[in-house]
Amino acid sequence: MSGPLVGNGRINDAVCSAVKENRLPHAILIEGDKGTGRHTLAHFIASAAVCTAEIKPCGVCSSCRLAKAGTHPDIYFTAPEDGKKNISVAQVRSLRNEAYVKPHIASCRVFLIDMADTMNEQSQNALLKVLEEPPGNTFFLLIAESKAALLDTILSRCTVLSLSVPEYGEAEEYILKNHKYPEQQVKSALSDFGGNIGRTLEALNGAKTKTASAAEEFTKHFLSGSDAGMLKTTAEFEKNRVDAALFIKELKTCVAKAAKENYRNLLTAKMLLNFYNELSGFEESLNTNINLSLLFCSLVCKATELSK
Summarize as ranges the residues that interact with Zn ion (CB under 5 A). 51, 53, 58, 61, 64
| Residues 163 and 11 sit within 8 Å (Cβ to Cβ) | yes
| Residues 16 and 48 sit within 8 Å (Cβ to Cβ) | no
The distance of closest approach from Cβ of residue 75 to Zn ion in the complex, given in angstroms and rounded to an integer, is 13
- Which residues, 6+ apart, have CB-to-CB distance to 48 below 8 Å? 19, 24, 56, 57
| Residues 86 and 80 sit within 8 Å (Cβ to Cβ) | yes
The distance of closest approach from Cβ of residue 211 to Zn ion in the complex, given in angstroms and rounded to an integer, is 38
The 10 Å Cβ neighbour count of residue 124 is: 20
The distance of closest approach from Cβ of residue 63 to Zn ion in the complex, given in angstroms and rounded to an integer, is 5
- Between 58 and 176, CB nearer to Zn ion: 58
- The sign of the torsion formed by the CA atoms of 168, 171, 174, 177 equals negative
- Between 107 and 209, CB nearer to Zn ion: 107
Task: Cite the beta strand spans of the chain per DSSP E.
Answer: 27-31, 75-78, 109-113, 138-144, 159-162
Element (H, E) at 281: helix 266-285
- Between 63 and 211, CB nearer to Zn ion: 63
- Between 62 and 178, CB nearer to Zn ion: 62
- Between 53 and 90, CB nearer to Zn ion: 53
- Between 44 and 247, CB nearer to Zn ion: 44
CA angle 52, 53, 57 (to 5 degrees): 90
The 10 Å Cβ neighbour count of residue 211 is: 22
Structure letter (DSSP) for residue 137: T
The 10 Å Cβ neighbour count of residue 289 is: 6
| Residues 251 and 222 sit within 8 Å (Cβ to Cβ) | no
The distance of closest approach from Cβ of residue 52 to Zn ion in the complex, given in angstroms and rounded to an integer, is 6
- Between 73 and 194, CB nearer to Zn ion: 73
The distance of closest approach from Cβ of residue 15 to Zn ion in the complex, given in angstroms and rounded to an integer, is 16
The distance of closest approach from Cβ of residue 69 to Zn ion in the complex, given in angstroms and rounded to an integer, is 13
The distance of closest approach from Cβ of residue 59 to Zn ion in the complex, given in angstroms and rounded to an integer, is 6
Structure letter (DSSP) for residue 30: E
